[in-house]
């Protein structure tokens, strides 16, 4: 009786290890710094992470198929630049400007997805190409200088009268995609393709369409993340999102996703993104210089992944 109870507890710990890592880190941060657990700091984290969380979710669906999308960071820059230039130079209201930016993100994602699904590119290679294309285009759009926007336009996304729209939007998208993954045939098919795409094709499912669609989703979410960053700084810059693709991949992996495909979870990926956020935040609060920060962050990613490998091994013996 006791033994089975112990085993069950062990299983719960293993299955939810991402959440426990997050919780432990959260408590440790609260103890390490007085300012960490303040409304102001928590709100800042939430605002800062709205974008990266969305990018990580987009990445997750690509990773679920067994692919990878390196272009999301650059597509963020496209989202930021296009929305900013439309507002400043073409007098767009910020809402249609943002919608057009999202459409551009979808075009980039779809393009990458077409290369992967129909031209048999590897995701890594296809997205490497679109990554440079998107970044270059973002610089062309902004002419290489950040586009400063007047207050009262896109910054409304950050702070409305009583609430923070980007936080609300992010939470809604997280919930939406968690439900999509679990309850829709689309979500299930994406996972199935990552497990064994031959079997899925032979079960009469047109795998290429699904493959293309995940990249399109990643593109839209990345563009939205870029818009969020533009909103927070009231500036559209072509340097937005540099290196963000790697953080997104790290978030998926910390959240227990397998880069081979077929395994991964939306909410855990969000927790993975927040783990990275907490690490960055606490080191800032403790005034750790930025270069050592990167080194520490790298080692923490290794530790988190080791824990995943360890737990998936013990999962198999159960």
Partner 1 sequence: MHEEYKIEMRDIAKHFGGVKALNNVSLKIKKGEIHALIGENGAGKSTLMKILSGAYQKDGGQIFVNGKEVKITSPKDSKDLRIAVIYQEFMLAPDLTVAENISIDNLANSGAFINWKWLKKIASSHLTKLGFCDIDPGVRVGTLSIAYQQIVEICKCLTRNADVIVFDEPTAVLTFTEIEKLFAIIRKLKSEGVSIIYISHRIDEIFELSDNITVLKDGGYVDTVPTSSITKEMLVSMMVGRKITQMFPERNAKIGKEILKVEKLNAGKLVQDVSFRVREGEILGFSGLVGAGRTETMRAIFGADKIDSGKVIYFGKEVRFKHPSEAIKNGFGFLSEDRKVEGLLLEQSIRMNTTLASMHKVKNKLDIINHKKEKKYVKELLRSLNTKYSSTENNVNSLSGGNQQKIALSKWISADCKCIVFDEPTRGVDVGAKTEIYKIMNNLAEQGVGIIMISSEMTEISGMCDRVIVMRQGRISGELDKELITENSLIKYAMGV
Interface residues toward partner 1, by CB under 8 A: 183-186, 188-189, 191-192, 195-196, 198-206, 262-263
Nearer to partner 1, 145 or 198 (CB): 198
Q: In whole angstroms, how close is the CB of 12 to partner 1 at the nearest point?
A: 16
Rounded to whole angstroms, the Cα distance separating 292 from 276 reads: 15
Rounded to whole angstroms, the Cα distance separating 187 from 73 reads: 24
Rounded to whole angstroms, the Cα distance separating 124 from 221 reads: 19
Q: In whole angstroms, how close is the CB of 111 to partner 1 at the nearest point?
A: 23
The number of angstroms, rounded, from the C-alpha of 150 to the middle of its chain's C-alpha atoms is: 28
Dihedral angle over CA of 215, 155, 157, 181, nearest 10:
20
Q: In whole angstroms, how close is the CB of 228 to partner 1 at the nearest point?
A: 28
Nearer to partner 1, 185 or 306 (CB): 185
> How far are the Cα atoms of 85, 175, 233, 278, 304 from residue 21, in angstroms, in the given order?
41, 21, 31, 11, 8
Rounded to whole angstroms, the Cα distance separating 172 from 166 reads: 10
Q: In whole angstroms, how close is the CB of 65 to partner 1 at the nearest point?
A: 13
Nearer to partner 1, 37 or 183 (CB): 183
Nearer to partner 1, 70 or 192 (CB): 192
Nearer to partner 1, 53 or 192 (CB): 192
Rounded to whole angstroms, the Cα distance separating 90 from 285 reads: 40
Q: In whole angstroms, how close is the CB of 179 to partner 1 at the nearest point?
A: 9
């Amino acid at each position: 009786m006791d033994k089975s109870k112990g085993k069950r507890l062990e299983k719960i710990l293993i299955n939810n290890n991402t959440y426990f890592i997050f919780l432990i880190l959260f408590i440790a941060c609260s103890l390490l710094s007085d300012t960490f657990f303040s409304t102001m700091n928590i709100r800042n984290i939430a605002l800062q992470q709205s974008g990266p969380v969305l990018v990580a979710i987009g990445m997750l669906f690509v990773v679920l198929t067994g692919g990878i999308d390196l272009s999301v960071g650059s597509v963020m820059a496209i989202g930021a630049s296009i929305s900013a230039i439309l507002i400043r130079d073409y007098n767009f209201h910020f809402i249609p400007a943002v919608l057009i930016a999202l459409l551009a993100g979808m075009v980039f994602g779809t393009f990458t997805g077409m290369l992967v699904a129909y031209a048999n590119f590897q995701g890594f290679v296809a997205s490497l190409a679109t990554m440079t294309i998107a970044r270059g285009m973002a610089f062309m759009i902004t002419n290489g200088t950040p586009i400063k926007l007047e207050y009262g336009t896109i910054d409304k996304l950050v702070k409305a009268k009583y609430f923070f729209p980007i936080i609300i939007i992010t939470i809604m998208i997280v919930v939406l995609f968690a439900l999509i993954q679990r309850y829709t045939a689309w979500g299930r098919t994406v996972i199935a393709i990552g497990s064994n795409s031959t079997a899925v094709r032979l079960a009469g499912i047109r795998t290429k369409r699904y493959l293309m669609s995940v990249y399109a989703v990643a593109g839209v979410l990345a563009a939205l993340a870029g818009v969020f960053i533009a909103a927070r700084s009231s500036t559209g810059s072509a340097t937005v999102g540099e290196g963000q693709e790697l953080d997104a991949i790290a978030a998926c992996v910390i959240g227990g996703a397998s880069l081979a495909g077929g395994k991964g979870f939306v909410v855990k990926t969000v927790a993975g993104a927040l783990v990275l956020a907490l690490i960055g935040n606490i080191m800032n609060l403790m005034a750790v210089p930025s270069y050592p920060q990167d080194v520490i962050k790298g080692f923490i990613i290794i530790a988190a992944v080791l824990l995943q490998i360890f737990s998936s091994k013990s999962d198999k013996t159960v």
